[in-house]
Structure 1
Amino acid sequence: MPLTFELDPMFSPALRDGITALWADVTNAGGAVGFVPPVTAEEVRPDLLKHLVAIEQGRTRLLVGRDEDGEVAATAFLTLNDHRLLRHWLWLYTVMVHPRHQGKGYGRDLMAATADAARSIEGIEAIRLTCRGGTGADRFYGACGYKEVGRIPGGIRVAPGDDRDDIVMLLPLGPGTP
């Protein structure tokens, strides 16, 4: 059964806890979402709170995917640019699908829903994201229509002696794009 997506859902303690648990579970399954495993929900919560402040300030939009049981199964945070010269594109952060749902096509569904959400925001012409090299995420995003537009060799330090490329990818939202 496909996920049900909602842009800018009403925030509640249950949603907060669902996103926090998702973030910890994705990290602990090896997902490259800002932490290195092992991580607890308590360690993730301050980063989620930063996203929530940006939502309250109108700088970030939240896309949530729920499974057939209504549980938080996927997220993406769409962050608008404050700078007047960059307002025609947005950043995509913390793209996650719960490990129990991976391999079902939900990641592609999330990326399509994200592109639809971005298209619904007046003036947005493209989505930018970064991903950690060595994880295969760049191949996944490429299959979703994103193009690599930059790479910083060793820009991400996962651990001493384990530096990864910081890969910048772009999805134009014009006609004919996914």
Structure 2
Amino acid sequence: MKIGRITLSDRASSGLYEDQSGPEIERVISACFDEPVDFVRVLMPDDLPGLTALLKRLADDERLPLVVTTGGTGPAPRDITPEATRAVLEKELPGFGELMRRHSYDIARVPTALLSRATAGIRGGTLIVNLPGKPRAIGECLPPLLPAIAECLEHISGFRPKLR
């Protein structure tokens, strides 16, 4: 299975620090899916037109069943991931963001979780999911989403990845 994973970070993309969020997505997904996963890795600055074009390419041209983003979901002026995602979606699935915010607020006791604007949705046969930008938040938020991700992939592509 081929999965796109996009890290949005002005600082990491300019080399100020190493991207740790993208590898955390890979670690969690590889540990939870039974199938071997081949990742399409992208590290880019917060750029609305660039992300919009990339999401379209990964969904329409490369036909990836799943694209996961990390970063750019907060309230800062350069946080544009939900806007780019909504611009390309055919169907929004707000429950993904709702679950992450609730999980972070109630379980992980992160009082700032309410600032997250993460969302998810479908474009063609591709599920696009926005995750927080911190590796710890990815490790906490992504596992509870995986059953819904597997179910959604079955509905939109006919393939259901097996979870461990």
Q: Which structure carries more helix by proportion?
A: 2
Q: Same fold per TM (> 0.5)?
A: no
TM-score normalised by structure 1 residue count: 0.35
Q: Which structure carries more strand by proportion?
A: 1
Larger radius of gyration: 1
